[in-house]
Structure 1
Amino acid sequence: MSDHFFLAVPLPEPIALTLKQTSEQVAPYVRFKRWTDSRDFHLTLFFFGALDDAQRLTILNEIKRITEQFSPFSLTLSRVEGFGDPNRPRVLYASVKHSKTLMTIRERLGEPLGDHGIPIDHRTFHPHITLAKRWDEGMMHSQLQLENLMALSGTWKVTHVSLFKVCPGQLPQYQSVAEFPFLEK
């Protein structure tokens, strides 16, 4: 099996701890087959899948070129939400408040990567941090409806993005193989 890669915003420990605590508070009310380990929390910009050496080199060069054009910026957690049926969401996630900088970075990276034949998902980008996925059984506990979940708090400075390799069966499952800092201007 080929290694799979993705580009993401890594999370600092205090934010990961907040999300871990949130997951623990929500877990008794929902049934998911897979909960994200706190060491694996991240905000995915692009999932690339399997890449050959030439594609990986192209990605590294393009990401470096683009990220050097941006300064560090802040992201803020918003709330817990779900993708899919509100009574049985496929994914439970933490959303972040809108960030024009994050959206611009993703857009600026997507264009050249796509031009180089790198597979880019063209669905609408919804920045999020996955807490759990794969609904297991039953309906959501009646005392907990996603729209009534507490708002999350926490802001962090994004100083870089990382290229991660997926390592199934290991913890952490995602290993950073390259970091791309934003330059202070």
Structure 2
Amino acid sequence: MSHDTNPASQGIRAFIAYILPLDTAALLHKKVKRLQGWDESPVRWTPPQNFHLTLRFLGDSSAEQLEKIKEGLRHELEGFHSFISMSGGVQYFPSDNHPRIMTLTLHSGRRMNDLNRVCERVSCQAGYTPEQRLFRPHVTLARSLSRPLSILPWQIPGYRFNVAELALVQSELRPDGARYRIMETFPLR
């Protein structure tokens, strides 16, 4: 299934995200690594440097569209204050009955949803199709490469994240997983 929200343009695959701090991501990754071997199907584990919460997937984008995104985020985030988010439990997508992706939920009251709406508004102003899927703040921990994952009753300690900046990220898909490059960061006040 393609997530490209602008199929007419071919260019740089990109998204807007909150990147988790590497020290906390490394702690989370250690917890996740303990689960390796719990499932016999091939699983691609997300490396800690790739732990992020996607606020708006853009898909293939032109350089002009990405400039509009940058300008829009600079303007819209001028008055947006940083906030604290907490990690929640492990969740499976698309459902517990057919789990293919293991995620960690993040909670911050309505603040993350407010940030998502800003990113949605900026992307629509830059010419992207409005997002139709429900926004569910999460960080992808693992993906099944063949069959559904086995669900385990797994608990993780709560971690606090200071959401103080967003990033516009370029994503390159490779056989061994995605490679990300931060194109620009946008601090929150």
Aligned to 1:56, the other structure's residue is in SS state: helix
Q: Which of the pair is proportionally richer in helix?
A: 1
Q: Which residue of 1 aligns with 2:184?
A: 178
Between 155-164 and 131-140, the greater mean CA deviation after superposition: 131-140
Which residue of 59, 64, 72 maps to 2:69? 59
Note the residue ranges of structure 1 that are not aligned, 5 or more in a row. none
Structure 1 pair 155/125, CA: closer, same or farther in 2 (3 Å)?
Answer: same
Root-mean-square deviation (Å): 2.2
Aligned to 1:46, the other structure's residue is in SS state: strand
Identity of aligned residues (%): 22
Instruction: Please state how far the C-alpha of 1:138 moved relative to its aligned partner.
Output: 6.8
Q: Which amino acid aligns with 2:34?
A: Q
Between 159-168 and 86-95, the greater mean CA deviation after superposition: 86-95
Which residue of 114, 136, 139 maps to 1:126? 136
Q: Which residue of 1 aligns with 2:33?
A: 24
| Contact 1:80-1:152 within 8 A present in 2 as well | no
- Tell me which of the two structures has the higher relative contact order, counting C-alpha pairs closer than 8 angstroms and 6 or more residues apart: 1
Q: Which residue of 2 aligns with 1:162?
A: 167
| Contact 1:5-1:49 within 8 A present in 2 as well | yes
Instruction: Please state how far the C-alpha of 1:87 moved relative to its aligned partner.
Output: 5.5
Note the residue ranges of structure 2 that are not aligned, 5 or more in a row. 1-9
TM-score by length of 2: 0.84
Instruction: Please state how far the C-alpha of 1:171 moved relative to its aligned partner.
Output: 8.2
TM-score by length of 1: 0.85
| Contact 1:48-1:119 within 8 A present in 2 as well | no
**Count of aligned positions:** 178
C-alpha distance after superposition, 1:26-80 (max 9, x if no partner): 2221334322111111010011011112211110011111111111111111111
